[in-house]
Amino acid sequence: METTLLITYAVLLGVGGIIGYKKAGSKMSLISGLLSSTLICLALYLLTIDPFKGFLLAAIVSCLLETVFTLRLIKTKKFMPSGLLMILSLIVFVVCLLKIL
């Protein structure tokens, strides 16, 4: 279950960055989306070697993104995409935190 959640999260982050770039020409969206997606993929890889480190990395990334998406939602007051990714980031964070503890 956790692996599927992290794969879905990584794909949504990467695709979201690409869509942000294509729709608004935002290079920052592209860079941050692909970087975040890559870090979650690294966490997935680490799960095969040391699950604690993999879940820790995923928890840190999702916590940071939770903050970013919450601030963006407050600023724009638009649920998509910030609200959706805020909720997904919270879910990923809680799942990873429970695996760490």
Name all contacts of 61-68 with Cβ < 8 Å and 24+ positions apart.
Answer: 61/36, 62/9, 62/89, 62/90, 62/92, 62/93, 62/96, 63/89, 63/93, 65/13, 65/36, 65/89, 66/90, 66/93
CA dist 16 to 19, 21, 68, 76, Å? 5, 9, 14, 17
Per-residue pLDDT tens over the stretch 46-99: 999 999 999 999 999 999 999 999 999 999 999 988 999 999 999 999 999 999
Residue-range domain boundaries for the chain: 2-94
Question: By mean pLDDT, which of 10-14, 23-27, 39-43 is the weakest?
Answer: 23-27
Stated pTM of the model: 0.94
